[in-house]
Amino acid sequence: MSQFSPLKFQKEAIDKLTASFLRLWQQKETQRNLVFKSPTGSGKTFMVSNFIHNLNGLPNWDYDKAIIWITFSDTLAMQSKDKFKEYFNTSLENNLLTVDDFKQGKLYKNDILFINWQKLVSKSAENRIVRRPEDENFHKEQGYYFEDIIENTKKEGREIILIVDESHTHLSELAQKSVVDIVNPKVIFSVSATPKYVPNRDEEDEGKAAYVRVSREEVVAASTVEAVSMAAVADTATGKFGLR
């Protein structure tokens, strides 16, 4: 349980994400798409973190899985990791990893790897040090590459959930070929305020994809209610009570 209580629209979104995810997980095929559209300022990281954390305690669902959480910068990767830790600091059940933890050689059950997308797809050699060169002569003598982590995790029968934050900037054809297909996740969880891909009704009915949306109106309404509540609390401290 997070030390922060979700707002009504956030809880509803988390519940919808969980239900949609479970439907996709039942499918035999990999790379099922869960698309989450939510406006900037709605608390996307908070909702995604709660969704992941809640998977640990689902009744009759305890699958061997690990999570890779991709952002578009090192700073955002660390911010997502730090926020997750802050939300659940008294009930943290997931190991939170970065590229510095590649030394463990694989992802264990419930591990979450936070990583910058550019470290995986950059054409610049100095930015691709986590990827395994095609030429074996250039392989490092010690340590693990991203491909090693994925292969060793898969060898143990562990499924991977791939979370792509700001997916509208990441899920290119290059990304699909060079990252998604290599990871071959059970579920691809795409998060964006403006997703490029939105599943159609047929894809949802066939269990190929799912779509969860938070509207701008829900966020504005919740912000208004919260502001009014804070004002009411402030007024009680001054002997006044009422709406401002």
What distance in Å separates the CA atoms of residue 15 and residue 135, rounded to the nearest whole number?
A: 46
Stretch 67-76: mean pLDDT, rounded? 92
- The predicted structure's pLDDT at residue 209: 97
Q: Look at the alpha carbons of 192, 196, 200, 204 in this order and tell me if their dihedral is positive or negative.
A: negative
Stretch 32-40: mean pLDDT, rounded? 96
Query: Rounded to an integer, what is the distance from CA 88 to the centroid of its chain?
Result: 15
What distance in Å separates the CA atoms of residue 244 and residue 242, rounded to the nearest whole number?
A: 7
Q: Where are the domains of the chain?
A: 8-213, 216-244
Q: Which of 120, 125, 151 is nearest to 138 (CA)?
A: 125
At residue 67, does pLDDT exceed 50?
A: yes
**pLDDT tens column, 138-155:** 677 668 999 999 999 999
More confident residue, 3 or 35: 35
**pLDDT tens column, 202-231:** 999 999 999 999 999 999 988 776 544 444
What distance in Å separates the CA atoms of residue 238 and residue 70, rounded to the nearest whole number?
A: 47
**pLDDT tens column, 170-198:** 556 666 677 889 999 999 999 999 998 99
Q: Could you tell me whether strands 187-192 and 96-97 are parallel, antiparallel, or unpaired per DSSP bridges? A: unpaired
At residue 238, does pLDDT exceed 70?
A: no
Calculate the dihedral angle through the C-alpha atoms of 143, 145, 147, 149, rounding to the nearest 10 degrees.
Answer: 50
Q: Which backbone phi and psi does 211 adopt, to 5 degrees?
A: -135, 125
More confident residue, 2 or 101: 101
DSSP three-state, residue 76: helix
Q: Which of 23, 109, 100, 32 is nearest to 64 (CA)?
A: 109
**pLDDT tens column, 105-125:** 999 999 999 999 888 887 666
Q: What percent of the chain has pLDDT over 70?
A: 82
Question: For the structural domain made of 8-213, what CATH number should be given?
Answer: 3.40.50.300
At residue 157, does pLDDT exceed 50?
A: yes
At residue 1, does pLDDT exceed 70?
A: no
